[in-house]
Structure formats: C-alpha cells, structure tokens
Structure 1
Amino acid sequence: MPKVKNLKSGLLAAVIIFFLAAGNTVAAAEQIFSDVPSGYWAEQSIARMSVKGVITGYQDGTFGVYKPVTRLEMTAMIIRTMGWDSNASIEVIPGTFKDPAELPLWGKKYVAIGVNRGIISGEDLTDYRGLDFAKRYEVAQYIGKAMGMEDEAQALESERLTYTDAKDIPVGARGYVALLREQGLMTGNADGTFQPLQNVTRAEMAVLMAKLDRMMNRIDVNEIKGFVKEVGTNSLVITTGDGQGTIPLADDVYVFLEGKRSSLSDLLPWDSVTIIKDGLYGVSVEAERIDELKGTVEEITVTVRLEDGVERIFRVNEDTRIRKDGENTDLVKVTPGDELELRLDGNIITRMYVSSRVVKAQYTGKVLDVNTSRERLKIALDGEESQEITVYTDNNTNVVTIDGKISSRLSKINEGDTVVVVGEMDDDDLVATTIIVTATIR
C-alpha cells in the first residue's frame, strides 16, 4: 500500500511554464557581408547557407547580392546543398564530358560530381558553358535533376503553365518549371511571370538553396531543432524529442525571428528554433513564433509552491480526481493562486482538493438603486463614464452608516448616497463584505 501524503499549497500553474530570464541583452551580430544590410530580404538565407559552407563571399567582404551566378557556380551550389561534395576530390570527370580542360581548377570536381550524378546531361555534356550566366529555367532543370525527380518532371511536361510568359520557357524545361512550382521552390513573380530567360542573382540563388536545404536536409552539419525553454546571456536551453539541453552560442551568432534579423533577447519560451552548430557553439539561430501546437498529451504536470516556499513538480494522470469548492471538476478549472490539498502516490497526484483564491475588490460610487428584497444595490462608479456595477450582499455584510454605526440592514443605504464597497469577487459577481456610506442625501 503506497504511503499517502497530505500537502497544502498555492497552485502556481496548471502546466509547467518557463519564464524568460530578465535582462538578456545580447546585441545582434555584425553584418554577414558588407553588402547584406540588416533586414535585407535574403539575409536569413544568405546567413544559413554561409554557415553551412554552401556560399562564400569575396575577398573585399562583399557577397555580390546582385551579381548573376554562372552555370558552374550554380552547379557547385546545388552539389554542396545536396551534400555530395564531401568526397569531391576523388571524383573524375567522365569521358562523355567535352573539353574538361577549359574548366577552372576549382570547378572540375563539381563538374565531375554533376556528370556522375546526372544533373549535367544531354546537350550540357558537349556544350556546358560553365562561365555563362545561369537562366531561371536552367536552375529549375538542375534542381529538379538533383532531387532525382526526372520522371515527375517528364509527367508534368504537358501540364499547362499559367505564367504569362510561359511561351518563353524551352520545351525541355517545362516539366521542371512545373515541378518546382509544385514543390514550392520556384513559384514565379507577383506579376504572373516566370521570366525563364532572366539571369539568377547570387541573392536569389541563396534563397533557392535555403529552400532546397530545408526540403532535402542533406548537408552534413550539426543542426538541432527544438523549442526554447530558457534564454541565457550566450546560450539557449531547448527541449527536443530527446529531452532538454543547453546550447552555448558564439558571440557573433546570427539570430533570426520570423525571418527577420533579431537578438537573442527577442526569443520567448516555446519559440520553435533551428540551431546550426560549428563545433561546440551555435552559430545560427532561426526562430519561429508558435501560435498553435498539435500533438498527443503524454503527461501533465503541476508546479506547486509549498508552505515553506519550496517549489515541487507533481504529475497528473487520468486517474487523478479533482474537487474545487466542493464540486468535481477538471484541471482546466484550477487557476494560479488557488489553495490546494493533495493526496499523493509517490510523485503522482491521486486527489486534489482546491479552494478558489479570494480576489479582493474595492469600488467607490453613487448608489443608483437599492433592492432590499434581493439584497443588492447598483452603483455608478466614480471616474468611470456611465459604468455601473451590481453589488450583492449576504448575512455577513456590514453596513457602516454616515454616523459611524454598523448595521447588517441594506435599508440603511439610500439612493444618491456615496459609498465605498469592499468585497470579494465570486466569479464575475462582487459580494460586499463592507459598505461604508461616506455621503448621504438625508
């Protein structure tokens, strides 16, 4: 037979609530690149793919956001995003590729992987044009092939494209353009065009690679997903499916909230976060504010402050019985500040007896109506334009008259009297414990 314990305490919360530590004032990190200002539309994608090693900047500290990418750069970025470059040094360009000697030294390994993986194929084997700028339709083709969805693209070749400039999309690319629209990777422009022949800038390519990375998750980096529990000065405590842990953060960590550059102190408990680590430290934090969570309840806990001030956490299960103010109820009716008496089986609450917290209230106003038969009066509050409240009385209500005498009779109050009402809130009703007449019309 388990030992039964009794505890009386004030309920702090019906579920565990994590509070943001006060005073966290971590400043936002410096610019990622000198030409990527804070708030730039592609800033988060550039940061993400930079820390993952997919994109790099130039020696002058710029990224070249408006500079078009070449076909060779496009190939390299896609291969890095797919995580295929870890053994790139041992790849050999097949003999089917024409004129490999014309390629820059840095790009040969990427062409080798591209040919071997099938993203460089067909006419590109004999006319690669690696230094030409990449067109939007070409990027769609290469991404679709990298995803291994050639069959799906072929099945979509006959699908009618609704872009106003669909006629400009080469026939061989139509299926890939339709595929990437279906996958949410390239959805066209606000004016209804796709602009298939337009060059793709480095900023646009960073955004595309970030989308592809989130979809495929192939890059070999330490990436942790979870929910914020606590925010420290240079760390985050997060909850994941494997439990809870503290992630130390680099001094120059990139922090984004809802896609916008932020600071660590902007994060709140239960924000969804993706943390990219470099060694021991998080170098990038991408956070989303969660308005709705769906899942299955595994366990419910309550945090209780005992009479000696010590806080303890207890579990509630389907067998827990709860009574509040003498009536059976459930946990949602228990509110912070309620008084508790608990029966325990180990750390599990078997019985919870709840007494509602008493909410004190005090109002001053002029009496509009006195109803002695129903033991209530109506007053107009001072300083509140046209606001009226009903005050209920009972056998315990004391009425203090203008001459200082104490009575239990509501008839001692007249319409037009000014009164101070002191009482307790019972749900939405004010029950007076004392009514003091401060001015009378007698």
Structure 2
Amino acid sequence: MKTKKLIALTVSALMATTAFAPSAFAAPKNVNVNKTFAISNISFNDVDDVPWAKNSISNMAQKGILKGYGNGIFQPNKPVTQLEAIITALRVTGEEVEAVSYKELIENGSKNFKFKDLVSSWAQGYVELALDEEIINDEDVKNLNSAAKRYEVAKYMVRALDLEDEAIESMDEDIDFEDADSIPDGYEGYIYVAVDRGIMNGYPNGMFLPNKPVTRAEMSVLLERIDEDGNIIDDEDDIDDNEKYEGEVVSIDSDKITLSIDDEDETFDIDEDVEVVFENNAEGNIDDIEEGDEVEITVNEDEDVIKIEVDDELAELDTYNGRVLAIDEDEVTLLVGSNEKKYDIYEDVEVIFEDEEDGTVDDVIKGDKVKISVDEDDMVVKIELSRELEDFDNYEGEVDAVNEDEITIIDGSEDLTFDIDNDVQVFFNDDEMGDVEDIDTGDDVELIVDEADEVVTIIVDKDL
C-alpha cells in the first residue's frame, strides 16, 4: 500500500472549497495547492438533536471534510454511503489533491478507469486512488451507493491510515463487545485496530453493532479523531501540559467535579466539551457519573477537565413517558398510556425542565407531562419535564361558579376568581381525568395556579 502524503493545514483549508455529492460532495475545481483559504464559521439548523456531534459537524464542515446540503441543512441522521465514507477517508488523511489529479488523468485519457459505467465522473478520481492504495477492491466498487456499515467504515479508515498490517496481525485478538460474534469474518482485525487506536467506540450497552449504518453525525465525530496530517489524535499527547488524576467522585455537576485524592478533596472546573468514557469505550455524559464512582480525569493547561474516564460500565436506563398523577420525595405515580405505574425516586434524582433549569421534586405538579429515567434497581434517577420551571400557588375551596374560561371558589369567607388555562388538567377521585364541564357548583376543589394566575390543574374531591 502506498504511503500517505502528509498534507499540512494549507491543504486542510483548501478542502473547505469541496462539497458533498453531487451538490454536497463534488470535487474541487481549479485547485491551487499554494493558496490558503480562510475558513469561516459554519452552522446548521438541523443538528440540535445530536448535541454530542454538533462541534464535530461544525469542525469537519469548516475543513471541507463533510459538507452540508445548503440552506443550513446537514441531515445528521442520514447514513453515509460507502462512496462518501471512502472519500472522507481520503480527505481526512490528506489525499484530496491527489484524488483531483487522478480525476484529471482519467479525463485526459492518461489513466484508465474501468468502472466508468458505475461511478459518476466527479468521483472517479477518488475511487481510482482508493483502488490503487488498496483501501477498496473491485468488488467494493459494485456497492458504493449502499449505506456504509460500521464494520466497513472500520476497514476503510484503518486502510486509509496505513494500518492494514496491524489489522491483519490482530484478526485473532479478543474483541471485548457482547456482539463480537456478529462481526463478519475477515473484519475482526479492522474493528480491533479501529477501537484500540480510538478511531471508533462501542455503544453504552456494550455492543459494537457492526452492521449498523454510520450516520453523517457519527462520521463527523469519527473523522475529527484524525488530525490535518492524517494522524490519529492521541488525547494524551494532544496537549503536552495535560495532567491526570485518579480518585473517587465526591460531587459533580455540569461545571465542577470534586474528587477524593489521597484522602483530600480537590475540585476542578469541567470544560464544556468534556469527554466522558466508561468501560468498553462507551461514551456517556456528566449525568451518567455518580458520587462514589472511581474515575481518572485529564486536566489541560487551563486546569479544566477535558476527559473523565469512569472505572465502571455505563448503566442502562429505561425511560417512560407519562403524566404525573401523584408525586412526593419518595415516589411518583404516572399515567403511562392507560395504565398507572408507581416508581420509587432516587434520593439525588435529577429534575430538568424544558429551559434546562435544574429543579426539585417539589417543582413537579400533578398533571405534568414527564419523561423519567429508571435504573436497574427500578429507581427514578432523572425526571425531565416538557415545560419551563416556574412557581405555582395552591388554593382550596368550594366552587361558586365555573365555566370553560374561569372558575370562582370560596376560600373561607373570600371569593377567588381565576382564568382557566386552555390545557388545564382536571382530576377526580382515584386519579380519574375529566373536563371542566364535569365540575359542579359546590364541589370541593384544589386549584394549582401558575405565575400568570391561570389555573393549570384542578383536583376535584368527588368521583367522576
């Protein structure tokens, strides 16, 4: 296999002029390797559902490795094709200019390309170069438009990085994934090297999922692990002044982590782009780390934690969506579909509102729509609400008048009138849900009123 040319940042910037197929992957025109192009900030409006990949997507787009489709569209969940995977592998390893040269040689007849009926002209230089460098073979060319699976991307990347010999030698190595038996024959070594070198990771459930198609978001993260010289980025060597500390987690939030190190507590600031890794290279986040976990942290020269390695497997959580029927600090009752379900609440449960404000169990009210995360002990460890955090007032009294727009109750000797929210929830005994029209004058009720003085929940003390 031909040794890769190490192209400097000038060429990485140059690649910002390239795009994806055909409008978003086309080859560059009039390439001048002596010209340096300014790299501007690039953002997309459809990547909010892949927050773990947003920075990688932006970085790869700025370098021209992966581009969008115009109008702020990136399509992060769209699978990459095998052709796209091959092209990005060549680009990130510094082969863009040579691929363009191959295309020109094919066009002027100086080089024969035998797959012109299978490959569009704009991509022929990439494919011929990949064939010459034995990244792919003739059989691979027949499937270039199919979605690239994880085991195939592992092979392309390992070969593009000149690690073929290492992969061949690693064919019989143990692969520490629960689905290792599902890896196609002949690909074990490529996956072993891709994981061992940090190019690819497994999933939180201990699986590698070799047959899963690779999305554009996932490809962006993978490609960012290769530097502009076509070398795998070693986190340990990336910043010479990095320091590592081992200890037990005393406390942690999104901004700071406190560790017990040699019986002394030390607190560190956490970088906003911190990497969290569990056993089996499973990627997690800050919320997955618990007090008492044994961790190793990497701290950069600014004394910010940039990586946390947790000496434990990433816990699998079950999630349920439902409406709160009752809740206190120990237990929550949800209406899930048409069924009532009760769950115990973890002492340090995390409560998150729509505006990303942290709250407490006391901020959750009857009728709230929530998503709960339940651990292997059936304890609720996280409650996510589909509304903003706000304060509520409670009023009890006897209904004096009620219609679909407002309700008046007698609270002692005082009449209180409130507007009724359009989405008001009305509960009767046994947590039966009804409508405002089911409420009668004289009914005893409890009203939950929001900051706008509108009734959002009515609890009626009678059977429906």
Question: What TM-score do you get using the length of structure 1 for normalisation?
Answer: 0.42
**More relative contact order in 1 or in 2 (CA 8 Å, sep 6+)?**
1
Structure exhibiting the larger radius of gyration computed from Cα positions: 1
TM-score by length of 2: 0.40
